[in-house]
């Protein structure tokens, strides 16, 4: 079997698995949301029983649950994710309007996190078990230990209330994205730093690095061309998962900094019992994860000559 | 989560502030702009599709209804209608104000009223809260400035609904359709929507706003509706001076802000009241202790409502003894109720055969601290509550299915200043009626089907007395909220949460 055929087969298998995963997620989330109670009651709040009945008919909630799911799935296949109860607009359009700011914020955060973790991870591995390594690991530990909302508030106090150099909330300007990106980078950085350090540490202790040194190659070439290339394989996988997490899961940060993105949109949907939005968010965020994991696997296959396409990790 | 975050912020502030020499900024009113923070986005700029309190606020700012309810006196006052009278039990005649113009220059006439009600009542249009128009049978235009609204049945709460019906410009609305109207709304209100969408909506003062009505030309030229979902961030914005006003600030944060000389914190009443419902008549278990009136009375005596109210809702919170808000028409404020007396509660339980107490299911969904306090008081008299903390719809379902013996609940009456609303919801034989007391149901029905204020007062009063005598509920307390404004801002505090931004002015 040629490597090209093997790659094609692998991609098809992974795509098939991605569809199956998304279908399962949509099924489970749909029924879990239904179990949380009667949506019409929830929407009507203090209003009378007649209004609850009206809402139930209006949103098709009087249909059997299997029929509701079938209708939803049929529409979702054509890209119609329903109409938001709260915004009274198509969910897909609302989502599309909010995606760019979340994308930008996530990209800023992941680039910042990589910019911090990559050099620090390499530095830590090069100074393994020495003071520099310990200090870098302490830094990673504090990033990991600090809840996101806590670091958000600390940044607000420092940059916005004290130094007054950044706006407290709002993502309309680049300045408004700096604090949220910093917070998310701080949250994402520890895992990336640790994986870089571990990968580099293993690579530096490997036979091929010893051979390279014996051949008299320059140390910088050994580190960047040989050790780092191998250390990057697990890093890509973790970075992809972290990026997926940022795309769909920066609910707390977007809410604290009033960024009108996907995370805040989901929080608002949950608060307002906006069922079509919650359901669509689960589906789209899952799709992000699945696609990013797929992309990471393919990228790893491309980078790592040892990667066996027939037996992906 | 919110409380945890609020505490974290306080702690972070405590750690960082001294080291940083933190001092709050004082923003200047020089730009003639008032920036108000709200927890939720305006989902659309059409108040018929914007739900909740924010949607109602939009209706007040950019639009006018026929009638206005004064947020302090809670009296109905003329707005687009100058006068009104009941022609017969079903028909309300209204004289309309002349010389009023919509923001686009169109004259306001009776045709706009007829168009608006027809639009809102059409189920095809799927407005957010059709309840405010479903009672209307027809609108008759007598002349350009006189209309008659005919109700489907006697509707004593008609004016309470009319205040929630913003009048649309018929010609413009019909021309652009509801979707474009949601982007570029036109009303007669004291504010025009200058820019809208996303987290920030900017309103500018309507300098041509008409005189003689209950609202007025805004004193501050620009109002910015800024969405800041996290309450702790709102507090930071208030401290930084980038926000001038916010409400629904929790008590713990409000207490911190009281120490700030540049901010004014006001704890003020709302229509929302807390209470505990008891399953007495919705297929309760035959051996339910709640079937014994003495047990229900014991529950009422067991809880120190005043202590919980002050601790969790602030000084403005008051204990209620009737199943309604004291601000609502027809709500008795002189019922004796049941004083906090745990010894008496224990005695009543012993008399009912529960000297050793009992265990009971308690459901709740909103305020966990209130629930924990109540469970603590019940434990003191020997009642063990198994707390089922669930989402609102799940709790309602459990109550309707007769599974929830006790529900710790609250109710805002959708802003209707009439006890008939809450009594109809919980005591009129519907699925939310856990009592099914024929006498109470008949009294509520009598109040709901008369337009004679005295008849209604008597009927609702008798219903409330019986509910209290039979101890069908444990009425708890009113639930005030905290308003925080810049000290230099003079802004009236309402009793119904409907803030009159047009009356705000810089000192």
The number of C-beta contacts closer than 8 angstroms across A and B is 144
**Per-residue pLDDT in tens (0 to 9) along chain B, 507 residues:** 444 455 455 545 544 444 444 443 444 567 899 999 999 888 889 999 887 788 889 999 999 999 999 999 999 999 999 999 999 999 999 999 999 999 999 999 999 999 999 999 998 888 888 888 989 999 999 999 999 999 999 999 999 999 999 999 999 999 999 889 998 999 999 999 988 778 899 999 999 999 999 999 999 999 999 999 999 999 999 999 999 999 999 988 999 999 999 999 999 999 999 999 999 999 999 999 999 999 999 999 999 999 999 999 988 999 999 999 999 999 999 999 999 999 999 999 999 999 999 999 999 998 899 999 999 999 999 999 999 998 787 888 888 889 999 999 999 998 899 999 999 999 998 888 999 999 999 999 999 999 999 999 999 999 999 999 999 999 999 999 999 999 999 999 999 999 999 999 998
Residue bearing the bigger pLDDT, A310 or A27: A27
Q: Please give the Cα distance from A231 to A123 (Å, whole number).
A: 13
Binary contact (A87, B44; C-beta < 8 A): yes
Q: Does B394 touch chain A (CB under 8 A)?
A: yes
Q: Please give the Cα distance from B115 to B166 (Å, whole number).
A: 12
What distance in Å separates residue B199's CA from the closest CA in chain A?
Answer: 7
What distance in Å separates residue A265's CA from the closest CA in chain B?
Answer: 10
Helix (H, G, I), strand (E, B) or coil at B501: helix
Residue B390 confidence (pLDDT): 86
What is the tens place of the pLDDT at every residue in A227-240? 888 888 788 888 88
CB B344 within 8 A of CB B336: no
The residue among B47, B233, B411 with the most chain A CBs within 10 A of its CB, best to mutate, is: B233
Taking alpha carbons only, the member of B208, B162, B209 closest to residue B68 is B162
Select from A47, A58, A153 the Cβ nearest to the Cβ of B8. Answer: A153
Question: Chain B contacts of A169, Cβ < 8 Å?
Answer: 226, 228, 233, 237
Binary contact (B8, A264; C-beta < 8 A): no
Which residues make Cβ contacts (< 8 Å) with residue A145, sequence separation at least 6?
Answer: none
Torsion over CA: A303, A306, A312, A313 (sign): negative
Q: Does B431 touch chain A (CB under 8 A)?
A: yes
Segment among A39-53, A109-123, A128-142 with least mean pLDDT: A39-53
Taking alpha carbons only, the member of B477, B453, B448, B452 closest to residue B463 is B448
- Give pTM, 2 decimals: 0.85
Question: Chain B contacts of A37, Cβ < 8 Å?
Answer: 390-397
Chain A residue with minimum CA distance to B131: A51
What distance in Å separates residue B420's CA from the closest CA in chain A?
Answer: 12
R_g over Cα of chain B? 24
What is the tens place of the pLDDT at every residue in A57-86? 777 788 888 888 888 888 888 888 888 888
Question: Chain B contacts of A272, Cβ < 8 Å?
Answer: 40, 51-52
What distance in Å separates residue B343's CA from the closest CA in chain A?
Answer: 36
Select from B41, B242, B411 the Cβ nearest to the Cβ of A168. Answer: B242
Q: Please give the Cα distance from A207 to A243 (Å, whole number).
A: 33
Question: Chain A contacts of B394, Cβ < 8 Å?
Answer: 36-37
Q: What is the mean pLDDT of chain A?
A: 84
Instruction: With a cut of 90, say whether residue A144 has pLDDT above it.
Output: no
Q: What are the distances in angstroms from CA B207 to CA B32, B104, B191, B422?
A: 14, 13, 9, 39
Question: Chain A contacts of B432, Cβ < 8 Å?
Answer: 49
Binary contact (B200, A172; C-beta < 8 A): yes
Chain A residue with minimum CA distance to B25: A161
- Kindly state the helix (H) or strand (E) to which residue B192 belongs, with its residue range: strand B191-195
Chain B residue with minimum CA distance to A252: B230
What distance in Å separates residue B100's CA from the closest CA in chain A?
Answer: 30
Helix (H, G, I), strand (E, B) or coil at B406: strand
Name the band, by pLDDT with cuts 50, 70 and 90, for residue A47.
Answer: low
Taking alpha carbons only, the member of A80, A77, A75, A76 closest to residue A90 is A80
Q: Does B142 touch chain A (CB under 8 A)?
A: no
Question: Chain B contacts of A41, Cβ < 8 Å?
Answer: 392-393, 396-397
The residue among B5, B17, B161, B197 with the most chain A CBs within 10 A of its CB, best to mutate, is: B5
Question: Chain B contacts of A53, Cβ < 8 Å?
Answer: none
Question: Chain A contacts of B126, Cβ < 8 Å?
Answer: 58, 88
Question: Chain B contacts of A158, Cβ < 8 Å?
Answer: 16, 20
Binary contact (A260, B233; C-beta < 8 A): no
Residue B370 confidence (pLDDT): 95
Dihedral class, residue B217 (left if φ above 0, else alpha if ψ from -120 to 50, else beta): beta
Select from A41, A51, A172 the Cβ nearest to the Cβ of B396. Answer: A41
The residue among B4, B7, B43 with the most chain A CBs within 10 A of its CB, best to mutate, is: B43
Chain B residue with minimum CA distance to A269: B40
Binary contact (A41, B128; C-beta < 8 A): no
Tell me the three-class secondary structure of A26-53, residue by residue.
HHHHHHHHHHCCCHHHHHHCCCCHHHHH
The residue among B56, B124, B196, B236 with the most chain A CBs within 10 A of its CB, best to mutate, is: B236
What distance in Å separates residue A138's CA from the closest CA in chain B?
Answer: 21
Q: Does B74 touch chain A (CB under 8 A)?
A: no
Question: Chain A contacts of B134, Cβ < 8 Å?
Answer: 50
Binary contact (A150, B13; C-beta < 8 A): no
Select from A49, A161, A258 the Cβ nearest to the Cβ of B430. Answer: A49
Q: Does B197 touch chain A (CB under 8 A)?
A: no
Select from B391, B412, B431 the Cβ nearest to the Cβ of A36. Answer: B391
| Tokens linked to B138 | 């027809």
What is the tens place of the pLDDT at every residue in A116-132? 999 999 999 999 889 99
Instruction: Identify the bridge partners of residue B225 per DSSP, sorted by sequence position.
Output: B36, B201
What distance in Å separates residue A292's CA from the closest CA in chain B?
Answer: 28
Q: Please give the Cα distance from A160 to A153 (Å, whole number).
A: 10
ipTM: 0.80
Question: Chain A contacts of B231, Cβ < 8 Å?
Answer: none
Phi/psi at B407 (5° precision): -125, 125
Question: Residue B138 CB: number of other CB atoms within 10 A?
Answer: 14
What distance in Å separates residue A268's CA from the closest CA in chain B?
Answer: 7
What distance in Å separates residue B120's CA from the closest CA in chain A?
Answer: 14
What is the pLDDT averaged over residues A24-42?
79
Select from B24, B25, B228 the Cβ nearest to the Cβ of A169. Answer: B228
Q: Does B202 touch chain A (CB under 8 A)?
A: no
What distance in Å separates residue A121's CA from the closest CA in chain B?
Answer: 29
Helix (H, G, I), strand (E, B) or coil at B353: coil
Chain A residue with minimum CA distance to B394: A37
Q: Please give the Cα distance from B373 to B389 (Å, whole number).
A: 14
CB B102 within 8 A of CB B63: no
Instruction: With a cut of 80, say whether residue A38 has pLDDT above it.
Output: no
Binary contact (B233, A257; C-beta < 8 A): yes
The residue among A161, A251, A276 with the most chain B CBs within 10 A of its CB, best to mutate, is: A161
| Tokens linked to B457 | 């007062």
């Amino acid at each position: 079997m040629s490597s090209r055929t093997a790659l094609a087969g692998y991609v098809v298998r992974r795509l098939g698995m991605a569809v199956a995963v998304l279908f399962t997620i949509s099924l489970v989330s749909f029924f879990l949301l239904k179990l949380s109670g009667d949506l019409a009651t929830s929407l009507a709040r203090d209003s009378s029983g007649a209004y609850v009945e009206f809402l139930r008919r209006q949103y098709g909630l009087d249909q059997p649950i299997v029929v509701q799911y079938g209708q939803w799935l049929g529409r979702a296949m054509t890209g119609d994710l329903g109409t938001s109860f709260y915004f009274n607009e198509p969910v897909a359009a609302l989502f599309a309007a909010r995606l760019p700011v979340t994308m930008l914020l996530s990209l800023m955060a992941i680039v910042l996190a990589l910019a911090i973790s990559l050099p620090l991870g390499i530095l830590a591995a090069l100074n393994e078990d020495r003071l520099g390594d310990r200090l870098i690991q302490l830094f990673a530990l504090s990033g990991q230990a600090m809840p996101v909302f806590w670091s958000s508030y600390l940044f607000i106090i420092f940059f916005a209330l004290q130094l007054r150099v950044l706006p407290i909330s709002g993502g309309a300007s680049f300045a408004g994205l700096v604090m949220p990106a910093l917070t998310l980078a701080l949250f994402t950085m520890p895992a990336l730093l640790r994986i870089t350090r571990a990968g580099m540490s293993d690579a530096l202790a490997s036979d091929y690095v010893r051979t390279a040194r014996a051949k008299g190659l320059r140390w910088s070439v050994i580190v960047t061309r040989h050790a780092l290339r191998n250390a990057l394989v697990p890093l890509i996988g973790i970075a992809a998962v972290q990026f997926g997490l940022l795309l769909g899961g920066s609910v707390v940060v977007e809410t604290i900094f009033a960024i009108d993105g996907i995370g805040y949109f989901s929080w608002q949907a949950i608060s307002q019992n906006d069922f079509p939005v919650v359901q669509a968010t689960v589906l789209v965020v899952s799709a992000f994860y699945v696609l990013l994991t797929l992309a990471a696997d393919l990228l790893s296959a491309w980078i790592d000559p040892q990667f066996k396409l027939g037996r992906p990790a | 989560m919110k409380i945890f975050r609020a505490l974290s912020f306080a702690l972070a502030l405590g750690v960082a502030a001294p080291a940083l020499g933190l001092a709050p900024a004082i923003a200047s009113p020089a730009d003639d702009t008032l920036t108000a923070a709200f927890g939720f986005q305006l989902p659309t700029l059409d108040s018929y599709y914007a739900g909740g309190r924010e949607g109602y606020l939009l209706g007040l700012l950019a639009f006018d209804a026929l009638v206005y309810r004064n947020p302090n006196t809670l009296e109905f006052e003329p707005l687009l209608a100058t006068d009104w009278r009941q022609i017969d039990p079903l028909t309300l005649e209204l004289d309309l104000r002349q010389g009023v113009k919509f923001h686009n220059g169109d004259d306001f006439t009776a045709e706009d009223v007829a168009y608006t009600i027809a639009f809102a009542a059409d189920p095809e249009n799927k407005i957010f809260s059709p309840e405010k128009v479903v009672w209307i049978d027809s609108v008759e235009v007598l002349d350009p400035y006189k209309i008659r609204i005919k109700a489907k049945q006697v509707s004593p709460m008609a004016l309470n609904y009319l205040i929630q019906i913003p009048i649309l410009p018929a010609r413009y609305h019909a021309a652009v359709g509801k979707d474009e109207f949601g982007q570029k709304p036109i009303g007669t209100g004291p504010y025009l929507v200058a820019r809208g969408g996303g987290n920030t909506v900017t309103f500018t003062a309507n300098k041509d706003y008409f005189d003689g009505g209950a609202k007025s030309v805004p004193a501050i030229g620009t109002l910015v509706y800024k969405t800041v979902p996290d309450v702790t961030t709102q507090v930071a914005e208030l401290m930084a001076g980038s926000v001038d006003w916010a409400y629904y600030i929790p008590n713990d944060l409000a207490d911190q802000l009281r120490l700030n000389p540049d901010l004014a914190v006001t704890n003020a009443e709302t229509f929302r009241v807390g209470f505990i419902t008891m399953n007495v008549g919705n297929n309760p278990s035959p051996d339910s202790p709640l079937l014994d009136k003495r047990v229900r009375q014991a529950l009422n005596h067991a809880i120190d409502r005043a202590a919980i109210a002050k601790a969790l809702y602030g000084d403005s919170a008051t204990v209620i003894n009737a199943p309604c808000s004291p601000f609502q028409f027809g709500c008795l404020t002189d019922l004796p109720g049941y004083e906090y007396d745990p010894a008496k509660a224990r005695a009543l339980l012993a008399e009912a055969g529960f000297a050793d107490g009992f265990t009971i299911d308690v459901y709740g969904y909103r305020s966990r601290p209130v629930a924990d306090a109540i469970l603590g008081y019940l434990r003191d008299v020997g009642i063990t509550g198994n707390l089922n903390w669930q989402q609102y719809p799940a709790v309602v379902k459990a109550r309707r299915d007769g599974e929830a013996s006790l529900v710790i609940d609250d109710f805002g009456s959708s802003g209707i200043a009439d006890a008939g609303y809450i009594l109809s919801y919980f005591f009129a034989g519907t699925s939310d009626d856990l009592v099914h007391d024929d006498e109470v149901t008949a009294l509520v029905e009598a109040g709901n089907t008369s337009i004679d204020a005295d008849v209604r007062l008597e009927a609702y009063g008798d219903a409330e007395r019986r509910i209290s005598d039979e101890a069908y509920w444990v009425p708890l307390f009113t639930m005030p909220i905290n308003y925080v404004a810049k000290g230099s801002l003079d802004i009236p505090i309402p009793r119904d949460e409907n803030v009159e931004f047009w009356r705000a002015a810089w000192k």
